[in-house]
Amino acid sequence: MYVPASDRYDSMQYKRCGKSGIQLPILSLGLWHNFGGVDTFENGRAMVRYAFDRGITHFDLANNYGPPPGSAEENFGAILKQDFPGYLRDELIISSKAGYHMWPGPYGEWGSRKYLISSCDQSLKRMGLEYVDIFYSHRPDPNTPLEETMMALDQIVRSGKALYVGLSNYENKDAAEAIKILKELGTPCLIHQPKYSMFVRWAEEGLLDILEENGVGCIPFSPLAQGLLTNKYLKGIPADSRAAKSTGFLQESEVSPERIAIIQKLHAIAEDRGQSLSQMALTWLLKDHRITTVLIGSSSVAQLKDNLGILNNMEFSAEELETIELVLKG
């Protein structure tokens, strides 16, 4: 029987999410890859247990995570059932989302009230939960009024199916508008989930300011650029990598020789700092006070262990930051 480590809150750092009452661990674990029906259940289970033992209280899911879609939520539900008896539910922040394609027909994706509410019900059933802590609109829908999508999120909270709401992949204008509507509805936006890493930086062009002005937290996804910002691809594409797997979202074409050259230079800077490249890439995001937590993925306990090493060195000198910028410019 799994007994959580008694010292699980001793070393992790927690940061307030925007101006809310919620604090999140600076590292959160996402279940997009490696937790689906095609993956080894016991490996996923070991990662969730290890993460929780080290103070990672936040687990991020979505209706479509798998493959097949829905299977990550089912597997996570099975892990909760086996290892996390009822009293531990109050120590967890579990999120899910709806936005991408989930079932056939006109009501199985995007941002209608019909889709969001049915999808939330399905997610709860798959995970065996009464509520999620955060429910997200996974992407803006250009063909549904923002008011409808935000009213659906508000209704999900008011009906007790979620405690907070979030936005993901909303760019500046839509994010600002959605945040305003949610505030007016009385269900303030807790958090925004953009793609953000050393390689993908659009969030710096206004979004982070909008979030700070409105007291909304920020949880960057793919902070390691799906594994590119680690030591994984320094010498080509290994067989056990996301880029090599047919079910992985990282395309082989993204592992270009130009990219590898940059990654090698970043790796050398990380080595000089006494860190792994993944640790440096994560702390590089967390140096900005507007970032609440970084949402990592993982395919093994060893990777989690490596990434938790950020807690040992989170400072950058001005010179290091400048060198990193130069390298990133190519």
Ligand X SMILES: NC(=O)c1ccc[n+]([C@@H]2O[C@H](COP(=O)([O-])OP(=O)(O)OC[C@H]3O[C@@H](n4cnc5c(N)ncnc54)[C@H](OP(=O)(O)O)[C@@H]3O)[C@@H](O)[C@H]2O)c1
Judged by the rule CB under 6 A, the positions of this chain that interact with ligand X are: 30-34, 60, 138, 168-169, 193, 221-227, 230-232, 241-242, 278, 295-299, 303, 306-307
Q: List Cα–Cα distances, 33 to 62, 97, 279, 281, 306, in angstroms.
A: 11, 15, 20, 20, 18
Residue number with CB closer to ligand X (152 or 304): 304
Closest approach of ligand X to the CB of residue 208, in Å: 16
- Give CA–CA dist 11/93, Å, rounded: 18
With H, G, I as helix, E, B as strand and everything else as coil, classify residue 202. Answer: helix
Residue number with CB closer to ligand X (140 or 158): 140
Residue number with CB closer to ligand X (135 or 318): 135
- Give CA–CA dist 82/14, Å, rounded: 27
Closest approach of ligand X to the CB of residue 1, in Å: 27
Residue number with CB closer to ligand X (214 or 303): 303
Containing H/E element for 15?
A: strand 14-16
Closest approach of ligand X to the CB of residue 300, in Å: 7
Closest approach of ligand X to the CB of residue 135, in Å: 13
Q: List Cα–Cα distances, 122 to 38, 82, 107, 192, in angstroms.
A: 20, 20, 13, 23
Closest approach of ligand X to the CB of residue 250, in Å: 7
Residue number with CB closer to ligand X (87 or 216): 216
Residue number with CB closer to ligand X (90 or 240): 240
Closest approach of ligand X to the CB of residue 302, in Å: 8
Secondary structure in 3-state letters for 58-107: EEECCCCCCCCCCHHHHHHHHHHHHHCCHHHHHHCEEEEEECCCCCCCCC
Closest approach of ligand X to the CB of residue 5, in Å: 21
Residue number with CB closer to ligand X (110 or 221): 221
Burial category of 254 from C-beta neighbours within 10 Å (exposed 0-12, middle 13-18, buried 19 and up): middle
Residue number with CB closer to ligand X (175 or 295): 295
Closest approach of ligand X to the CB of residue 96, in Å: 10
Closest approach of ligand X to the CB of residue 138, in Å: 6
Q: What are the helix (H) ranges across 164-215? A: 172-185, 207-213
Q: What are the helix (H) ranges across 168-256? A: 172-185, 207-213
**With DSSP H G I counted as helix, E B as strand and the rest as coil, what are the percentages for the chain, rounded to 5?**
40, 15, 45
DSSP 271-310: HHTTS-HHHHHHHHHHTSTT---EEE--SSHHHHHHHHGG
- Give CA–CA dist 278/147, Å, rounded: 39
If you compute the radius of gyration of the chain from its CA atoms, what whole number of angstroms results? 19
Local structure of residue 49 (DSSP, 8 states): H
